[in-house]
Every structure is written in C-alpha cells, then in structure tokens.
Chains A and B, each alone.
Chain A
Amino acid sequence: MIIDILSWICLLAGGALGIVGGIGIHRFPDFYSRLHAAGITDTLCAMLILLGLGLQAGWSLAAFKLALIFMFLFFTSPTASHALANAAQHSGLQPRLDSDEPEVGS
C-alpha cells in the first residue's frame, strides 16, 4: 500500500516534470536555456519515473534492468547536453543575455 502510494507520487511527479520540461523547450527564448529545460527531462524526470516503476517491481531482474537504464541515462544524457552546448558555443552561437534586452521602464 505504501509502495503503491510512493509509486504513484514518483510517477506523477516524473510525468509533471516531463511536461514542465516540454513547455520549457517551447517558451525559452534561446538555445542554451532550452538545453537547460531539456536537461530536466533527461535526468530528474527519468529518475522519478524509473524509481516509480522500480518500486512496483520489487527486488527482481526487472529492477536491476531499470537501474541499468537509469545509470546509462544518467551518464549519457548530461554528456550529450554538454557536447551540444560545447559544439554550439564553439560554432559561434551566442547566448541571449540580459544585457541584450532594451531597458524596460527604468
């Protein structure tokens, strides 16, 4: 029963974070901030959903495989984001800074 409730919470939180990340990808103004939003979905959302599933699975081979999936995602998604940002930076894509905005009001 407790496990079910915890599982519910984790899955719902993970799903909500995924949607938040998805909205972020749309609303953010430039590439680097969108990369931040994408990063949330890759790590925290994945971790919560996999944790929720793992609680349902108990101690079994399925839980081990879920742990493996999470470990791979944990290592490779931030690396991909880093490599993306690195490549964008070195090819000249500039982040949009606050100093670029015209002063509002003032």
Chain B
Amino acid sequence: MFIAALLAILVTMGLALARALAGPTTYDRIAAVNIFGTKTVLLIAVLAFFSGRGDLLDIALVYALINFISVVAALKLVTRGDFHSSDSDESEAN
C-alpha cells in the first residue's frame, strides 16, 4: 500500500518537473516548484512509515515550512524586481 502511494507520488513529481522545465511563463515554474515541494513532503512522510523510522517526519515538517518561504521569496522577486524597492507608487495606483 505504501508502495502504490510512493509510485503515485513519484509520477506526480515527474509531471511537476516537466512543467517546471517547460513552463512558458515564470509563474508556471513557481507553481511547479511549489507542487514539487509538497510532493517531497508527502514522499518523505510515506518513506518514514515505509522504513519504520518515525523521526523522518520532522524533515517533512521542515520542508512544508521551507517550501512556503522559497515560494514567497520567488514571488517577491517576480513582483518587485528586487527585494528592496519601494511600492509607494504602486499601492497608490491600486
């Protein structure tokens, strides 16, 4: 049963990787990396149960958090152009 889940997760990761390689816009790539991160979390969680080591769940937890941070960082770069410009004109034009 874990084997089926593992195979399914690996297939999904492959599809997400293909989208990350092929995505015409940058947002496609960021979305694909987000999916890849979530699938890695699930892969590590299933592997934790499959191999019987319960402490691997900590790694899955860390990944769930870190994935969010890297997506936010990528978005910040994409919307701002850098991490440090002012958005005072944009928020007025909003």
Taking beta carbons and an 8 Å cutoff, which residues of A are in contact with B?
Answer: 4, 7-8, 11-12, 14-16, 18-19, 21-23, 25-26, 31, 34-35, 38, 41-42, 45-46, 49-50, 52-53, 56-57, 61-62, 65-66, 68-69, 72-73, 76-77, 79-81, 83-84, 87-88, 90-91, 93
Contacts and interface: CB of A to CB of B under 8 A. Distances in A.
Given A62-B54, A72-B61, A52 B5 contact: yes
Interface string B24-39: 0101101110110011
Contacts of A65: 57-58, 60-61
Shortest 3 CB-CB contacts between residues of A and residues of B: A15-B8, A22-B15, A76-B68
A4 B2 CA distance: 11
Contacts, number: 145
Given A19-B11, A80-B34, 12 more contacts: A15-B5, A18-B11, A18-B42, A19-B8, A22-B12, A25-B19, A31-B28, A53-B46, A69-B41, A69-B45, A69-B64, A87-B75
Q: What range describes how many residues of B lie at the interface? A: 35 or more
A93 B38 contact: no
15 contacts: A18-B8, A18-B39, A18-B42, A19-B15, A22-B15, A31-B25, A34-B19, A38-B35, A49-B46, A56-B49, A65-B61, A77-B38, A87-B79, A88-B25, A91-B79
Contact of B57 (A7, A35, A69, A81): A69
Contacts of A77: 34, 38, 68
Given A50-B45, A80-B71, A34 B64 contact: no
A18 B16 CA distance: 10
Q: Is the interface of B mostly helix, strand, loop or mixed?
A: helix
Interface of B: 1-2, 4-5, 7-9, 11-12, 14-16, 18-19, 25, 27-28, 30-32, 34-35, 38-39, 41-42, 45-46, 48-49, 54, 57-58, 60-61, 64-65, 67-68, 71-72, 75, 78-79
